[in-house]
Amino acid sequence: MKRVVLVTGHYWNSKRKAGFHWLAEAFWHQGWEVIFVTSALSWLSVIRRDYRLAYPVLQEANQLQLIRENFWSYVWFTPWHPANLRSNLLNHLSRGLFNLYGQLPLGTVEPLLKETDLFIFESTPALLLFDRCKQLNPQAQFIYRVSDDLRLLRNHPVVLNTEERVAPKFDLVSVPSQHIYRLFAGLPNLALELHGLRKDIFNQEYANPYSGSDTPNVVFVGNAHFDYEFLEQASQLLPNWQFHIIGPMNNLPQRNNILAYQELPFESTVAYIKHADIALQTLAYSPGAECFTDSLKIIQYSYCQLPIVAPAYLASSRTNVFYYQPGDASSIYQALIAAQMYDRSQIPTYEIYSWDDLVSLWIKRMEKNSP
Low-confidence stretches of the chain (pLDDT < 70) are 371
What pLDDT is stored for residue 350 in this prediction? 85
101, 78 in Cβ contact below 8 A? yes
Q: Could you tell me the residue range of the domain that residue 360 belongs to?
A: 3-196+353-369
Over residues 349-366, the pLDDT tens digits come to: 988 989 999 999 999 998
Looking at residue 328, which CATH number applies to its domain? 3.40.50.2000
Angle subtended by helix axes 228-237 and 329-341, to nearest 10:
70
Same domain, 151 and 173: yes
Cα–Cα distance for residue pair 118/361, rounded to 1 Å = 14
Same domain, 220 and 270: yes
Same domain, 263 and 128: no
Same domain, 210 and 174: no
Same domain, 232 and 322: yes
Q: Where are the alpha helices (DSSP H) in the chain?
A: 19-29, 43-47, 88-93, 95-98, 110-113, 130-136, 157-166, 178-183, 199-202, 228-237, 266-274, 296-303, 329-341, 355-369
Cα–Cα distance for residue pair 363/120, rounded to 1 Å = 12
CA triple 330-331-332, angle to 5 deg: 90
Q: Where are the alpha helices (DSSP H) in 101-211?
A: 110-113, 130-136, 157-166, 178-183, 199-202
Cα–Cα distance for residue pair 217/310, rounded to 1 Å = 16
Over residues 227-248, the pLDDT tens digits come to: 999 999 999 999 999 999 999 8
Burial class (CB in 10 A: 0-12, 13-18, 19+), 235: buried
Residue at 339: amino acid letter: A
What pLDDT is stored for residue 43 in this prediction? 93
Same domain, 325 and 361: no
Over residues 76-93, the pLDDT tens digits come to: 999 999 988 888 899 888
Same domain, 47 and 191: yes
Cβ neighbours around 147 below 10 Å, total: 27
Same domain, 171 and 98: yes
Same domain, 119 and 267: no
Same domain, 174 and 243: no
State how beta strands 242-246 and 65-68 pair: unpaired
Cα–Cα distance for residue pair 189/159, rounded to 1 Å = 20
Cα–Cα distance for residue pair 18/34, rounded to 1 Å = 16
Cα–Cα distance for residue pair 252/228, rounded to 1 Å = 7
Hey, which bits of 118-198 come out as E strands? 118-122, 141-145, 172-175, 190-192
How many folded domains does the chain comprise?
2
Burial class (CB in 10 A: 0-12, 13-18, 19+), 258: middle
Looking at residue 100, which CATH number applies to its domain? 3.40.50.11010
What pLDDT is stored for residue 304 in this prediction? 97
Measured CA distances, 219 to 44, 165, 322 (Å):
34, 40, 15
Residue at 73: amino acid letter: S
Same domain, 113 and 156: yes
Alpha-carbon dihedral 169, 23, 101, 54, rounded to 10 degrees: 160
Same domain, 165 and 312: no
Mapped onto helix, strand or coil, the DSSP state of residue 136 is helix
